[in-house]
Amino acid sequence: MSQFWADKRVVVTGGAGFLGSFVVEKLAEREAGEVFVPRRREYDLREKEAIQQLLADTRPNLIIHLAATVGGIGANRAHPAEYFYENLMMGTQLLHESWRAGVEKFVAVGTVCSYPKYTPLPFKEEDLWMGYPEETNAPYGLAKKMMLVQSQAYREQYGYDSIFLLPVNLYGPRDSFDLQDAHVIPMLVRKFIEAKQRGDDHIVAWGDGSPTREFLYVEDAAEGLLLAAERYNESNPVNLGSAFEIQIKELTQRIATATGFDGTVSWDTSKPNGQPRRKLDVSKAEQLFGFKSTTPFEEGLRRTVEWYRGHQSGAVAR
């Protein structure tokens, strides 16, 4: 275990959420000095005064900023203004106030949605500014991308140590399975399991199934974040991914098999596909801080399905 964390006071915003809960567990494994998980009812990170209070109360050496207002394509289309404003205000003010308070290091976590809609494959960090993001999630992607601009500006002017990471689509246990805002894997897992329980012979999926996506298992993502926090000290963006690309139509078939659903899938082409393809160049993460994903997709999917089966009522309520 790295001695880097032994005397660190760490704030993990969003630490009670999907990715954050695994980050907090891995910090415990690394025997981090103290870990604080601010809750929204106590510290509303959209408000500058709440951020200042958080920093005064916790006096952290390091911040890992995971808190976000986030969801799938449907949620992004329904709430573009909220997704832009809330993510921008949280990230911009938190980084600024962390610099002012003397926090030693700031780990900013962006999103693959920041990449241009037609980025050449595999997505390289140098191509991040080649064009406008895919329209359905552009407000969210651009709001998160501003932390990259801010990180680079503050390093240039103040010498502030902040880093910016770009994880691809995550999946795994503890994800949101709410049909209003879930991403594609938890959405399909829930649809297939509930259809099987009801005895339905088909489900409806969005789009036409032609886009591709890359998926990173959530525990691997948490490990990548902590390795970057330990070993990486530049403000150039770095991708976190698995290099595993799959077409949505094939993904749907694999989830049907994993959940035991033997009915049919109809495609609602009135719904958007989202970005046509996503596959990251993940070489820099391995070169710069030694991260490489280790969980095979089928194993990660199996764990996700098992977790949902064991927590179905609570996961749906959440």
Q: What are phi and psi of 115, to 5 degrees?
A: -70, 150
Give me the architecture of the 3-175+214-244+277-294 domain, per CATH.
3-Layer(aba) Sandwich (3.40)
Q: Which residues are catalytic?
A: 140
- What is the DSSP code (8-state) at residue 4? G
**pLDDT in the model for residue 182:** 87
Distance separating alpha carbons of residues 247 and 255, to the nearest angstrom: 12
Contact between 62 and 107 (Cβ < 8 Å) = yes
pLDDT of residue 318: 53
What pLDDT tens digit does each residue of the chain (318 aa) get? 569 999 999 999 999 999 999 999 999 999 999 999 999 999 999 999 999 999 999 999 999 999 999 888 888 999 999 999 999 999 999 999 999 999 999 999 999 999 999 999 999 999 999 999 999 999 999 999 999 999 999 999 999 999 999 999 999 999 999 988 889 999 999 999 999 999 999 999 999 999 999 999 999 999 999 999 999 999 999 999 999 999 999 999 999 999 999 999 999 999 999 889 999 999 999 999 999 999 999 999 999 999 999 998 776 655
The interaxial angle of helices 138-158 and 80-101, nearest 10 deg, is 20
Give residues with Cβ within 8 angstroms of 280, minimum separation 6. 112, 122, 123, 166, 168, 214, 239, 240, 241, 243
Say what the pLDDT of residue 313 is. 74
Write the pLDDT tens digit of every residue in 111-135: 999 999 999 999 999 999 999 999 9
3-state class (DSSP) for residue 303: helix
pTM equals 0.95
